[in-house]
Amino acid sequence: MAEGGIDPAMPQTENAPESSSLYSRHPQNYVENVSMVISTIMTRLGYGEEIRRWRIKKYKMNDRLSNARPEGVTEITAGSKAEGLTCCFENDWDILFVLNDVLCVEAGTHIHTIPDDIDVFRMDTRVSRVYPGHCRLLQARPAQTRYKVILNALRDDLLSSSLFVYKFPTPITYSGIEDHEQAGPSWPGSFMGFLYFDRVQALRCHCPSIMQRWAARPRHWPSPVIVDKVVSLGAYLTPVGFKGSDCKHMEWRMCFNTGETELVNNLNITQAHVYVMLKTILKDVLRPCKKEVTSYVIKNIVLWQAERNPQNKFDTQSFFHWLHDGLRELKTAVATQQLSYYMIPERNLMAASGLQDKQQSKWVADITDMMAEGPRVILRLEKIRKAIVASPEPMLWFSKTRMEMLELEYFNRAEKCRDQSDAILQKIKGRQMKILMEVRQRMLIEGCAFADLMDIYEGILM
C-alpha cells in the first residue's frame, strides 16, 4: 500500500479534464469559466460551504435535543438534511427511529459480552435466495423486558419485517404535525403543509466483517481517519425486503445512514455541487414516476466518483467535467440496469427497479443529449435558469437574508422548551416577520407581482 492508502496497482479512471470528451466538444477555457460562475450561483442559492456546515450543526443539535427524552428510541436525521444540502422546506426530512434495546449481530459474534437487557438477534445472510445487503433475523437471546412490537413480529424465532412495520406504533408527533397514510416501511408526515417528514423504524446492526471489507478497499478517498470513523458508526437494519424475493416479508435491509452522512459531509464543495446538480437533473428532467431511479442512486455515483479519483482533481474549475462524468455513470446504470452499492458492492441498486424498455431508451437518449450540451445543460433546470437570469445584486441581497437560519433556530428552541410563549421563540417569530416584510418590499421595488406573506415564507425556505 502506497503512502496515503493508495494502491499503485489500483485501476485508475481516465477522466482527467484534459482527456474528457466534454472538452472535445466545448473549449476548455469556456467550460472552466462557466464552472466557476455556477459555483457562485450555487452558493447564492443556498448550497455554499458555510450554510452547508451550519445546517449540519443545527440538525445534529436537533437530534441531541430530541434524544434527551427517555422514550425508548433514538431519532437520527438522515439524508439530505443531515448532509446540509437542502433548505428547510426543500425535500423531505428523513428520520430514523432506532429501538434502543435491540441489537442485531453477525453470525459468529459472541453475545456473552452484550448486556442482558439487550434483545439480541443473529443476522442470517446464508439462507438461499437472500439478496446481498439483506438478511433474516433469528432470535439469539431475548431480553427480560421486551418491546411489544418485537413480540408481535416474532414468528418461530424469526423476526418478520412486514409485521414489525404493521405492529409498530405511529411515531411520536407534536403539535402542528399531521400524520399521513403509511407508505411501505415509512410514516410520512407534514408540518404546516410545508415541511414534509419521512420516518422509518430501524434496528441497530453490528456487522464488523462487512464494515472491514469496505474499509480495506484501495481508495483515493476518504482519508483513513474518516474510514475509521465510518466503521465505528456501524449499521442499521430497516424492515424492507428485496422487491423480487418470495420471502421479502421476512427480510431486512442493511443500511449505513450515519456512515454515509459522514462520507457526504466530507465531500469537498465541488463534489457537493455535482451531487446537488445531478439530483436536480434527476428530479426536473428525467422525472421518475415510481422511483425507478432515486436520489440514492445519485449519491452512490458521487461516492464512487470520489473514491476512485484524486481529491485534487475536484476543484471549482472542473465542476462541469465531473457533472459530465456523473451523467455518463448514470447513463451506464440506466442502460445496463447495474450499479454497485457503495457500501456492499455485491448489491445492485438497479435490481428490481421496474424500469420499462421504453422509459429506459428515452432516459438513455435524454442523458446522451444532456452530455452533448455541455454547460448549457443547466439551462434545463428552472431554479438554476432563473438564478442566471436574475440580476446579481438583488440575488446577493436575497441570499443574505438567511431566514432559514432563524427557522432552524426556531425548530431547536421549540424542541428544547416546548412552550410557544417562550420569549426567545417570540423574538425569532418577530425577526422572521420583519424579514418577510423586507423581502416583500424589495419584491415590489423590483417590480415583482404582489405576493402573500405565507407564499414568500414558503418560497424563501424552498
Question: By the 8 A CB rule, do 97 and 171 touch?
Answer: yes
d(CA 436, CA 460): 9
Burial class (CB in 10 A: 0-12, 13-18, 19+), 108: exposed
d(CA 200, CA 331): 30
CA 301 to chain centre: 13
- Angle subtended at Cα 215 by Cα 335 and Cα 60, rounded to the nearest 5 degrees: 90
Q: Which residues contact 46 (CB under 8 A, 6 or more apart)?
A: 87, 399, 404
Q: Is 154 helix (H, G, I), strand (E, B) or coil?
A: strand
Question: By the 8 A CB rule, do 330 and 350 touch?
Answer: no
Give 47's DSSP letter: I
Return the CATH class of domain 51-266: alpha beta
- On the question of pLDDT at 9 being above 60, the answer is no
- Angle subtended at Cα 257 by Cα 229 and Cα 298, rounded to the nearest 5 degrees: 110
Burial class (CB in 10 A: 0-12, 13-18, 19+), 227: buried
d(CA 12, CA 166): 47
- Angle subtended at Cα 415 by Cα 119 and Cα 168, rounded to the nearest 5 degrees: 35
Q: Would you kindly state where each structural domain of the chain is located, as residue ranges?
A: 13-47+267-389, 51-266, 390-460
What was the pLDDT predicted at 410?
Answer: 77
CA 423 to chain centre: 34
d(CA 318, CA 302): 14
d(CA 290, CA 80): 20
* Whether the bond into 222 is cis, omega within 30 of 0: yes
Lowest mean pLDDT among 175-184, 199-208, 408-417: 175-184
Query: What are the tens digits of pLDDT across the range 358-406?
Result: 999 999 999 999 999 999 999 999 888 888 776 565 555 555 556 777 7
What was the pLDDT predicted at 179?
Answer: 78
Query: What are the tens digits of pLDDT across the range 279-309?
Result: 999 999 999 988 899 999 999 999 999 999 9
What was the pLDDT predicted at 15?
Answer: 45
Query: What are the tens digits of pLDDT across the range 319-349?
Result: 999 999 999 999 999 999 999 999 999 999 9
d(CA 104, CA 380): 46
Pick the closest to residue 266 from 3, 94, 76, 49 (CA basis). 49
Buried-exposed string 283-303: b where 16+ CB fall within 10 A, e elsewhere: eeebebeeebbebebbbbbbb
Q: pLDDT tier at 10 (50, 70, 90 boundaries)? A: very low
State phi, psi for 382 to the nearest 5 degrees: -60, -45
Query: What are the tens digits of pLDDT across the range 133-188?
Result: 999 999 999 998 899 999 999 998 999 999 998 877 665 555 567 777 777 788 88
Query: What are the tens digits of pLDDT across the range 60-80?
Result: 999 999 898 777 899 999 999
CA 337 to chain centre: 21
Q: How many CA atoms lie within 13 A of 374 on its CB side?
A: 17
Question: By the 8 A CB rule, do 298 and 279 touch?
Answer: yes
Question: By the 8 A CB rule, do 231 and 115 touch?
Answer: no
Tell me whether strands 195-206 and 93-106 are parallel, antiparallel or unpaired: parallel
Return the CATH class of domain 13-47+267-389: mainly alpha
Query: What are the tens digits of pLDDT across the range 222-280?
Result: 999 999 999 999 999 999 999 888 889 999 999 999 999 999 999 999 999 999 999 99
- Angle subtended at Cα 29 by Cα 25 and Cα 33, rounded to the nearest 5 degrees: 110
Cell numbers for 59, please give them.
440538525
The model's pTM: 0.88
- Report CA-CA distances (Å) from 57 to 46, 63, 179, 310: 15, 10, 27, 28
Give the residue, 43 or 136, on which the prediction is more confident: 136
Give the residue, 452 or 172, on which the prediction is more confident: 452
d(CA 250, CA 104): 15
- On the question of pLDDT at 18 being above 60, the answer is no
